Amino acid sequence: MNPEETTGPILGEESELTLGELCRACGTSAEEVTALVEEGIIEPLGSGTRWRFSGVCIRRVRKVYSLRRDLGVNLAGAALAIELLDEIERLQARLARLERP
């Protein structure tokens, strides 16, 4: 088995994916992605039927599904948890910068 088939390329924030590519990468449907957009968990680039998503959206979608699977939270609860986790990351980065000599 080709390792790239199981892990795929590493995508950064500057990478862009179509709706179909995001669905395949996360093993989800367009309807589920639309629900995540409506909840504010991920934000599409562009508008209408030509949505594109940054590579970071893959991580966010997977995190949401982990929270839902592991903790049984609903979509609104997952959105709140993601927001709080993002804030923790920002604060940790800020603290690390302040602690540098």
> Considering the domain boundaries, does residue 81 fall inside one?
yes
> Considering the domain boundaries, does residue 5 fall inside one?
no
**DSSP element (H, E) containing 52:** strand 52-54
> Considering the domain boundaries, does residue 29 fall inside one?
yes
**DSSP element (H, E) containing 18:** strand 16-18
Tell me if 56 sits within 8 A of 16, measured CB to CB.
no
Q: Domain range holding 79? A: 15-99
> Considering the domain boundaries, does residue 9 fall inside one?
no
The radius of gyration of the chain from alpha carbons, rounded to an integer in Å, stands at 15
List per-residue pLDDT tens for the chain, 101 residues long: 333 333 455 555 568 999 999 999 999 999 999 999 999 999 999 876 689 999 899 999 999 999 999 999 999 999 999 999 999 999 999 999 999 87
Q: How many domains does the chain have?
A: 1
Instruction: Kindly report the CATH number assigned to the domain that includes residue 20.
Output: 1.10.1660.10
- CA 88 vs. chain centroid, Å, equals 16
> Considering the domain boundaries, does residue 70 fall inside one?
yes
Can you give the pTM of this predicted structure?
A: 0.75
| DSSP state, residue 29 | -
Amino acid at 81: A
